[in-house]
Amino acid sequence: MLTLIIQYLLLPKVLPTFILPFVFFFINRRYVWFSILLTAIFEVVVWWDELCYYESRGIVIYAMLIQLLLMTVIIMLLKIVVPKLNMKKRFTFRVQLLCGIMIAIASCTLSFALHKSIFMNIAWIIYGLMWIFNPVIPEGIDQSRGRQLARVAGVICIAIGLIVRFGVG
């Protein structure tokens, strides 16, 4: 039974429910609730075939609402537990770049496994939002100018995600 639950939690349709709140919480805590909106959009894209079929629409909407409710509980628990642990509040430049690489690898894997190219576009948008909401810069660069450049880079990443079609599917 436990293996069945773990296999369900690792499905690409369910995984963002657990990953996005943690990513947003550790990048910038003010925007952690934005992860619910991104997950809702992600779920509509991923579950689109099931949503269009009239017999499965109700159960899919029910499953999506349960996942969003679970995300809310995870965010509330993070807001209660993590401040007591005295963890670092923000990512550094290097950690944020590594997160971008991990997001790119995960999105490429999902695109390849599910034959839906939209995951690459979503990865570009998430990476751009990371730079807009948490504009970290390397040491030795002017803070105000560097933050502006980081936000401009975030807008460029979002534009790439919205304009470019990375695959045929």
Query: 1 and 84 share a domain?
Result: yes
DSSP H/E element including 160: helix 143-163
Local structure of 117: helix, strand or coil: coil
Query: 104 and 132 share a domain?
Result: yes
Report the half-sphere exposure of 84 (CA within 13 A, side-chain side): 5
Q: Is the model more confident about 28 or about 102?
A: 102
Q: How many domains does the chain have?
A: 2
> In the predicted model, what is the mean pLDDT of the chain?
80
Q: Is the model more confident about 115 or about 36?
A: 36
Q: What per-residue confidence (pLDDT) applies to 31?
A: 81
Which one-letter amino acid corresponds to residue 32? V
Q: Is residue 169 part of a domain?
A: no
Q: What per-residue confidence (pLDDT) applies to 156?
A: 92
* Placement of tokens 């007591």 in the chain: 84
Long-range contacts of 131-134 (CB under 8 A, 24+ apart): 131/96, 131/157, 132/158, 133/27, 133/28, 133/30, 133/31, 133/34, 134/27, 134/28, 134/90, 134/91, 134/96
Give me the mean pLDDT over the 71-79 stretch: 84
pTM for this model (two decimals): 0.54
Cα–Cα distance for residue pair 96/134, rounded to 1 Å: 9
Which residue from 53, 7, 13, 28 is spatially nearest to 130, judged by alpha carbons? 28
Query: 95 and 144 share a domain?
Result: yes
The residue among 60, 89, 118 that closes a domain is 89
Query: 80 and 133 share a domain?
Result: no
Q: Is residue 33 part of a domain?
A: yes
Query: 148 and 74 share a domain?
Result: no
Q: Is residue 1 part of a domain?
A: yes
Cα–Cα distance for residue pair 122/39, rounded to 1 Å: 11
Query: 97 and 54 share a domain?
Result: no
Give me the mean pLDDT over the 34-46 stretch: 85
Query: 107 and 145 share a domain?
Result: yes
Query: 15 and 71 share a domain?
Result: yes
The residue among 22, 57, 89 that closes a domain is 89
Q: Is residue 41 part of a domain?
A: yes
Confidence of residue 41 (pLDDT cuts 50, 70, 90): confident
Domain span at residue 40? 1-89
Give me the mean pLDDT over the 93-108 stretch: 84
Query: 5 and 47 share a domain?
Result: yes
Query: 9 and 58 share a domain?
Result: yes
Q: Is residue 42 part of a domain?
A: yes
Query: 64 and 108 share a domain?
Result: no
Query: 53 and 135 share a domain?
Result: no
Percentage of the chain exceeding pLDDT 70: 85
